[in-house]
């Protein structure tokens, strides 16, 4: 397969911007679509994304555009819009998508209206010949954009295209590991956001380090059950896009999801926290979608159900915690 030199990036939030900078470090030509004209202007004229990733000097060769289809003049296209907007953005791209050019899902979430994973949503909308990969893993944009060492999962069935994408995106400080399992990679990345909200609640409520460790371990068990029921591999959840991202996101106030949970645990309301935010907090939307998906697949996901209850059904926080702690004792592993 020919080397991929020109890469389109759809979405210039914090993550799309950090990926554009990473691609420049890898020596690629980058065209970055931003929805906001002021973001296009700031990137092209001041080499900074003042709205979504301020304070970092971007490579001056990153070319931002307001015209979404400009980013399709590329050898591969990264899709970096929030999960709930992925379908409408892909619908705008579909009629002009170049034959056979791979798409890489970089969002972490499950669609609320359909309970679809992002690669399923993208495949629903883009032409059938588009190979769709998933990029996921422990990646705070603010660290990636500065070139701090990071490793990720690049998942797709086609190892040949996967290898070409790894070569196009990878640098010594941004190391993609190929995996064949998109379902596992996506469920790990999406559901860890819900678990990070739960872990933030545990810490904000001062329930202790033991409680956080228990939550993360049982949370990983939940995530793995869902991934396997959906057709993914358990081993993927032990990798970067599973355990790796869960540990990162569920233990740092840098995370929008964890910090939301932390504020809720301290007694703030969802409206008060979200009202002051421009950045996307994916777990808020994925919580209800994951509960719907788990119901479809008959998978028990008590932690996700508890987070959904608190976020979307006015469940009392302390009663919800008591409910989880009073569940019947059971074997640690399925027997
Ligand atoms: N920020 C990170 O550290 C990080 C890391 C890995 C993955 N991600 C994932 O990347 C995705 C994008 O997150 P982000 O952090 O770059 O976003 P962000 O919070 O920095 O910015 C919000 C983004 O949403 C876009 N947006 C708002 N309304 C829209 C609409 N109607 N249609 C299309 N786009 C719209 C904005 O243009 C902006 O690009 C999310 O799924 C997130 O989970 C983020
Ligand atoms: O800030 P969050 O919670 O959206 O997490 C960002 C990344 O997904 C961490 O890998």
Ligand nearest to the CA of 194: 2
pLDDT reported for residue 276: 83
Number of Cβ within 10 Å of residue 61's Cβ equals: 11
CB 104 within 8 A of CB 162: no
Q: Report the C-alpha gap between 237 and 242 in whole angstroms.
A: 4
pLDDT reported for residue 335: 59
CATH 3.40.50.720 boundaries in the chain: 6-180
CB 249 within 8 A of CB 191: no
CATH 3.30.470.20 fits 183-325, yes or no: no
CATH 1.10.3720.10 fits 6-180, yes or no: no
Beta strands in 41-126 (DSSP E): 63-65, 76-79, 103-105
Q: Report the C-alpha gap between 116 and 137 in whole angstroms.
A: 19
pTM for this one? 0.98
Q: From ligand 1's centre to the CA of 81, what distance in Å? A: 5
Q: Hey, is 117 helix, strand or coil?
A: strand
Provide residues with CB under 6 Å of ligand 1: 11-16, 35-36, 52, 80-83, 85, 89, 106-109, 139-141, 279-280, 282
Confirm or deny that 137 is annotated as ligand binding: yes
Q: From ligand 2's centre to the CA of 140, what distance in Å? A: 6
pLDDT reported for residue 58: 98
pLDDT reported for residue 295: 98
Residue ranges, the chain, pLDDT below 70 = 335
Residue 334: phi and psi, rounded to 5, are: -60, 130
Q: Hey, is 69 helix, strand or coil?
A: helix
Burial of 326 (0-12, 13-18, 19+ CB in 10 A): exposed
| Residue from 51, 52, 99, 53 nearest 77 by CA | 99
Is this prediction's ipTM beyond 0.95? yes
pLDDT reported for residue 1: 78
Q: Report the C-alpha gap between 109 and 284 in whole angstroms.
A: 10
Nearest ligand 2 atom to the CA of 138 is 10
């Amino acid at each position: 397969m020919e080397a991929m030199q020109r890469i389109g990036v759809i979405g210039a939030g914090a993550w799309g911007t950090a990926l554009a900078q990473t691609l420049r470090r890898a020596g690629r030509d980058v065209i970055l679509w931003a929805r906001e004209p002021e973001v296009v202007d700031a990137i092209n004229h001041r080499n900074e994304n003042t709205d979504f990733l301020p304070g970092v000097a971007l490579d001056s060769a990153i070319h931002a555009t307001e015209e979404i289809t400009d980013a399709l003049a590329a050898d591969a296209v990264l899709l970096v819009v929030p999960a709930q907007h992925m379908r409408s953005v892909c619908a705008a791209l579909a009629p002009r998508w170049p034959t056979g050019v791979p798409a890489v899902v970089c969002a972490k979430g499950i669609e609320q209206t359909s309970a679809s994973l992002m690669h399923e949503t993208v495949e629903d909308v883009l032409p059938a010949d588009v190979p769709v990969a998933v990029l996921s893993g422990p990646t705070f944009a603010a660290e990636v954009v500065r070139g701090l060492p990071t490793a990720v999962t690049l998942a797709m069935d086609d190892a040949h295209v996967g290898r070409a994408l790894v070569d196009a995106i990878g640098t010594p400080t941004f190391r993609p590991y190929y995996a064949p399992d998109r379902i596992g990679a996506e469920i790990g990345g999406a559901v860890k956001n819900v678990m990070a909200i739960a872990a933030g609640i545990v810490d904000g409520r001062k329930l202790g380090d033991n409680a956080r460790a228990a939550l993360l371990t049982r949370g990983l068990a939940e995530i793995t059950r869902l991934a396997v029921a959906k057709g993914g591999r358990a081993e993927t959840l032990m990798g970067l896009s599973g355990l790796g991202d869960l540990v990162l996101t569920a233990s740092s106030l840098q995370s929008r999801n964890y910090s939301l949970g932390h504020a809720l645990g301290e007694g703030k309301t969802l409206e008060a926290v979200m009202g002051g935010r421009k950045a996307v907090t994916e777990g808020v939307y994925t919580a209800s979608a994951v509960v719907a998906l788990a119901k479809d697949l008959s998978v028990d996901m008590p932690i996700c159900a508890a987070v959904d209850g608190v976020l979307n059904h006015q469940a009392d926080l302390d009663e919800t915690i008591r409910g989880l702690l009073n569940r019947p004792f059971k074997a640690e592993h399925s027997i």
